[in-house]
Structure 1
Amino acid sequence: MKLVILAAMAVLMAPPALAAQPDTLESLFTEWRQLQKGEVRGGAPDFTAPALARQAAALKQLRARLDRLPAAQWSIARKVDRELIRSEMNGLDFDLRVAQPWRRDPAWYISVWTAQSDTPAHEGPVHPMPVELWTYSFPLDAAAQTKLAGELAHIPALLAQARGNLTGNTRDLWKASIVTIGEQLAALEDLQTKVAGGDPALRRAVDAATGATRDFLDWVKAEAPKKTGPSGVGKAEYSWFLKHVQRSPLTWEDEVAILQRELDRAHAALRMEEHRNRALPPLTGAQSPADYDRQARAAVDKYLRFMDERQILTVRDYMKPALLARIGSYVPPEQQNFFHIAMHRAPMTLWTHFYHWWDLANMAADPHPSAIRRGPLLYNVWLSRAEGMATAMEELMLNAGLFDDDPRAREIVWIMQAQRAARGLASLYAQANMIDLDAAMAMQVSRTPNGWMSPNLPLLGFEQQMYLRLPGYGPSYITGKAMIERLITEVAEKRGKDFRVKDFFDELNSYGMIPVPLIRWQMLGATDELDKIGVSDADPIASDRQR
């Protein structure tokens, strides 16, 4: 009896067990981002079937917990944050079911990146352990050498694993990946030179990564001719990705219609501009490094002055340095790709597209209050906002008068619009498996005006390979532009005489790098597109206070 009493007292006096904490949007976001990284085996990301099956099962459970959050009384802003997490989860679901890059695309196993993208994250698919070589400054100090050696260590194990995983029959993805893998090999061979005489552990890591990449490239070259199947995801899955990942109200067929219309419009506008300017001398472009540098810097100053004086948006301190860091340098005519041609003849035309760099600077200088929007969204969920805004600025600034004193530069704006429509349209047909990658590249070349798209320079293959690897990317420049133009229309209609261009852009920038349809929901309280973008359970809330 005494033992029973003592046992009961011990139970009563014991500290209470910690109750499980209820899920919150933020806690689920953190848990989701960890799940998305997947498992690690032998120091490398694990893309074997058992690991992927476990990830798929965990994704299903986590998504159910997200759906159970009591969101009825949330503000639109918080509901948008939930949809951003859902969008990323849908991206992983799409990879597991359809894209399967670890099985279909040898370029998925690329680890070394030598340049920063102008978008919030890498353009297209990237595995969870990228080595951002562009972030290192050479010569490396001791801490950087140790860090880089650790980051490179996974490459041999990952490339060994890849040979067992890559069972897909995707001709174009295999063929295109040979160039991409070759670029990693070249980067590592260059790195061998840079670290010679440095830390022995780093030299060993670089040598091992280089040898593994060389062997992998040889294997892919031997296997690629055996691949005969299509590489696109098909129309139905493409439209699913638009709706559930990119949160676009469009379908594959809608995008074809929009891009064809914009291609026609750009070509027609270009011919009228050329006709109007027929008595003017042609743009010859910079003829020397000094000439290029002078023109490029003057164009930055002129552009920023225009933005400020015309009250387009609030000019921030980071804007000029962000542009000056990206103006590039002189390129001889025979080596100029499409964008070099524009930059050397009328650099301000491309500086309008460099809104990208302002976006990135803004993310660093003024982090979004929502942790979910603060960093880059996965699966390029930011596409319509990032690429759409950059492309929209080209024509919007033309219409605002930026090139009124340089009529020939107006022609270049239309050439750029046509090129973006042509390459996006070609990528749509490639994703639908109606044409192969070679035909897509030929279409882009033939439908870009005035012979500006070289069939021989690397830019062409890079663009079409990337658009084949990620559904929606190629058309997003034009479709995102169309979404932003529609948003301007709707906001101007709603605000009437109170509409101000500067207010519009400043407010747009405040929502973060998220899909334009979700910005529209938060900016206008508009609910008519919610079913189209896969938000069927969102309660309409229209009060300004809750946005």
Structure 2
Amino acid sequence: MRISAFAAVLLSSAALQPAIAAPSTGDTMMMQEKTPQALADLFADWRQVAAPERKQGVPDFSAAALERQAEGLAAMRARLSALERSGWSKRDQADAQLIEAEMNGLDFDLRVARPWGRDPSYFATVFAEESDVPAHEGPSADVIDLFAYDYPLSAQDAAELEARLRTVPVLLDDARTYLADGNARDLWQYGSRAFNGQAAALDELANGPLEMRTVEGTKVATLDGAPASLKDAVIAARDASRDFSAWVKAQAPSKTGPSGLGRENYDWYMKHVQLVPYDWDEQLTLLQRELDRSLAALALEEWRNRDLPQLEALDDPAAYNAFAKAKMSEFIDFVIDSGFLPDKPYYRAALEAQTLSYIPPEKRVFFYHVTALDPWPLYSHDIHWPELARLKHDPEVSAIRQVPPLYNIYSFRSEGLATGFEELMLQAGLYEDAPRARELVWIMLANRAARGIASLHVQANEMTLKEAGIFHSKWTPRGWADPESDLVGFEQLLYLRQPGYGTSYIIGKQMLDEQIARRTHLLQLEGKEAPLPEVFKSILDEGIVPWTLMQEE
């Protein structure tokens, strides 16, 4: 079925309903007993305040509604500050800090970012695929997850989905008013893309079948057996998405203002919302260092492998699919046998569900250039999916950590861990019999460093998105990142819309390194062994929270 009633209340926030199923009511009661009741109650109330008011079934971003939300925020801040915290564990204290960071995120949106008035993509609300992180990347006015339903639809689900989709034309009509004074040039220049994708997904749903990626594998959606009124709602939402895309495209040439939030605002956001201890300048230094390191490491690998044959892509789809399946099986065995993940069926299933299929050369964007030669680097990044499966099958003891943090506060933890796991697997010996594939790990790392550097310059209004794409492409080895590709455009737009997401892969990876270093060093000072898989497991056990809150525990 869909997300539970508990999750619908707790996560009705505009930015981020979860991409994972929430716990049952019984699980929630159990978790709240382990979280101080006053803190659990505050969290549930806060998430209702964080959600926008709704008018006629759609989010309301009118001046009066936003003023009332600001008043609610002030009241919640005061309530959080007044909580009696004696007897709290370090984890409870960290959970309170996480709630405060979310409050700072809403404050930032109300004062600075104002996505409802600047960012057309904010009003793209229909999602076909589950994200590989706890919630959808980037802010959205609302969330309608097509993948969250079971198909064929029950009568109840069909009625609910129809009601949700009928809000799409209404919201997009309202958005024209909210965006009337928007002048952020790049957000408009690239703003029609999300609605083209939304319209395409709705068109596939209307005409069937629509294939969607989830943590449990590909889900196929059709409207077979559903009432005709649902298909009418799907088509109306599709047509409204197409019309809005055309409107944004027509408006874009008149937009001339800056799109980045500036260094000062970026620094505040990092410190008070993302809980990252590095400002704009420090992040630039760290990313440049990682770009240099990855390129130097690639050069060394290529020199060491100079007498070995180059990797060749398989041109036969059946042969590639068999290859990719075998590589996934080997990867899962390695990760589990090495002790980095316990041998649980849902971990294996979550990884197996991400087994790649053949992509023809003309459709290969950056990651598919890598995986055409060897899928292991991307399979390593897929550590995301076992984490999502764990949230579903083995819920967190903290009600606050069971659900995704708002404002993508998870990004440095989730993306950093997944990026770091790519190199961990390389150093742990995964590629002992595939030396040429080691080169691909460094190419992946260089790509992420280059696009992160570009994203910093965009936030500082020192590059346009087009210039960022060119830089991103220039510093990605082997010419595999086409600046005109949909992928490069999507990535740089996301990093503009969500400050810090572009740097989270590299900075978060370095913060993972810091966690490993501190934990192994402490064990060694105590005269204990510090096997890396056990240390890694201790990090996973903290849950998906900012690295800095782990350190404080």
Query: Same fold, TM exceeding 0.5?
Result: yes
**Aligned match of 1:83:** 97
2:530 aligned with 1:499: yes
1:327 Cα shift?
1.6
**Aligned match of 1:418:** 446
**Aligned partners of 1:105 and 1:461: how far apart in 2?**
15
**Aligned partners of 2:333 and 2:365: how far apart in 1?**
29
Q: Percent identity?
A: 46
2:107 aligned with 1:93: yes
**Aligned match of 1:26:** 40
Does the Cα contact within 8 Å between 1:389 and 1:480 map onto a contact in 2? yes
Residue identity matched to 2:466:
D
**Aligned partners of 2:517 and 2:243: how far apart in 1?**
55
Match of 1:184 among 198, 213, 217: 198
**Aligned match of 1:146:** 159
**Aligned partners of 1:436 and 1:217: how far apart in 2?**
21
**Aligned match of 2:28:** none
Match of 1:193 among 190, 207, 231: 207
Render the CA deviation track for 1:480-534: whole Å, top value 9, x for unaligned. Answer: 0000101111111111142121221221111111001111211xxxxxxxxxxxx
Of the structure 1 ranges 439-448 and 197-206, higher mean CA displacement relative to structure 2 is found in: 197-206
Residue identity matched to 1:455:
P
Matches within 5 A, 1:117-128: 117-127=131-141
Larger radius of gyration: 1
**Aligned match of 1:171:** 185
Residue identity matched to 1:351:
Y
Match of 1:68 among 77, 82, 90: 82
**Aligned match of 1:265:** 293
Of the structure 1 ranges 218-227 and 201-210, higher mean CA displacement relative to structure 2 is found in: 201-210
Q: Taking structure 1 as reference, are residues 204 and 285 closer, same or farther at Cα in structure 2, changes over 3 Å only? A: same
2:516 aligned with 1:516: no
**Aligned match of 1:255:** 283
Does the Cα contact within 8 Å between 1:295 and 1:347 map onto a contact in 2? no
Could you say what secondary structure the match of 2:345 adopts?
A: coil
**Aligned match of 1:7:** none
**Aligned match of 1:36:** 50
1:191 Cα shift?
2.8
**Aligned partners of 1:43 and 1:147: how far apart in 2?**
12
**Aligned match of 1:227:** 255
TM-score by length of 1: 0.89
1:63 Cα shift?
0.8
Residue identity matched to 1:504:
V
Matches within 5 A, 1:308-457: 308-457=336-485
**Aligned partners of 2:229 and 2:340: how far apart in 1?**
53
**Aligned partners of 2:204 and 2:336: how far apart in 1?**
43
Does the Cα contact within 8 Å between 2:162 and 2:230 map onto a contact in 1? yes
**Aligned partners of 1:393 and 1:441: how far apart in 2?**
26
**Aligned partners of 2:62 and 2:401: how far apart in 1?**
31
User: Which residues of structure 2 form unaligned runs of 5+?
Assistant: 1-35, 209-222
2:242 aligned with 1:242: no
Match of 2:514 among 481, 486, 496: 486
Render the CA deviation track for 1:152-198: whole Å, top value 9, x for unaligned. Answer: 12112211111111022100001111111111122223333244984
1:308 Cα shift?
3.2
**Aligned partners of 1:52 and 1:76: how far apart in 2?**
34
**Aligned partners of 2:45 and 2:428: how far apart in 1?**
45
Render the CA deviation track for 1:83-127: whole Å, top value 9, x for unaligned. Answer: 111111111111111111100000101111111110000011122
Match of 2:312 among 269, 277, 284: 284
1:66 Cα shift?
0.3
Could you say what secondary structure the match of 2:190 adopts?
A: helix
Matches within 5 A, 1:103-118: 103-118=117-132
User: Which residues of structure 1 form unaligned runs of 5+?
Assistant: 1-21, 523-547
Does the Cα contact within 8 Å between 2:431 and 2:437 map onto a contact in 1? yes
Of the structure 1 ranges 145-154 and 213-222, higher mean CA displacement relative to structure 2 is found in: 213-222
Residue identity matched to 1:103:
G
1:138 Cα shift?
4.7
**Aligned match of 1:533:** none
**Aligned match of 1:161:** 174
Does the Cα contact within 8 Å between 1:232 and 1:430 map onto a contact in 2? yes
Residue identity matched to 2:496:
L
**Aligned partners of 1:376 and 1:85: how far apart in 2?**
11
**Aligned match of 2:19:** none
Does the Cα contact within 8 Å between 2:155 and 2:226 map onto a contact in 1? no
Does the Cα contact within 8 Å between 2:287 and 2:449 map onto a contact in 1? yes
**Aligned partners of 2:328 and 2:297: how far apart in 1?**
26
**Aligned match of 1:476:** 504
**Aligned partners of 1:288 and 1:402: how far apart in 2?**
26
**Aligned partners of 1:188 and 1:398: how far apart in 2?**
40
Of the structure 1 ranges 282-291 and 194-203, higher mean CA displacement relative to structure 2 is found in: 194-203
Render the CA deviation track for 1:36-55: whole Å, top value 9, x for unaligned. Answer: 11211121100111101110
Could you say what secondary structure the match of 2:299 adopts?
A: helix
Of the structure 1 ranges 395-404 and 418-427, higher mean CA displacement relative to structure 2 is found in: 395-404
Could you say what secondary structure the match of 1:281 adopts?
A: coil
**Segments ≥4 residues shifted beyond 6 Å:** none
Residue identity matched to 1:402:
L
Of the structure 1 ranges 259-268 and 306-315, higher mean CA displacement relative to structure 2 is found in: 306-315
2:337 aligned with 1:301: no
Does the Cα contact within 8 Å between 1:125 and 1:469 map onto a contact in 2? yes
**Aligned partners of 1:478 and 1:362: how far apart in 2?**
24
Residue identity matched to 2:513:
E
Residue identity matched to 1:224:
A
1:287 Cα shift?
2.2
Does the Cα contact within 8 Å between 1:307 and 1:315 map onto a contact in 2? no
What number of residue pairs does the alignment pair up? 500
Render the CA deviation track for 1:59-90: whole Å, top value 9, x for unaligned. Answer: 01111110111225422111001011111111
Does the Cα contact within 8 Å between 1:105 and 1:177 map onto a contact in 2? yes
**Aligned partners of 1:293 and 1:220: how far apart in 2?**
40
Could you say what secondary structure the match of 2:135 adopts?
A: coil
**Aligned partners of 1:97 and 1:443: how far apart in 2?**
31
Of the structure 1 ranges 447-456 and 432-441, higher mean CA displacement relative to structure 2 is found in: 447-456
Does the Cα contact within 8 Å between 1:232 and 1:431 map onto a contact in 2? yes
Could you say what secondary structure the match of 1:318 adopts?
A: helix
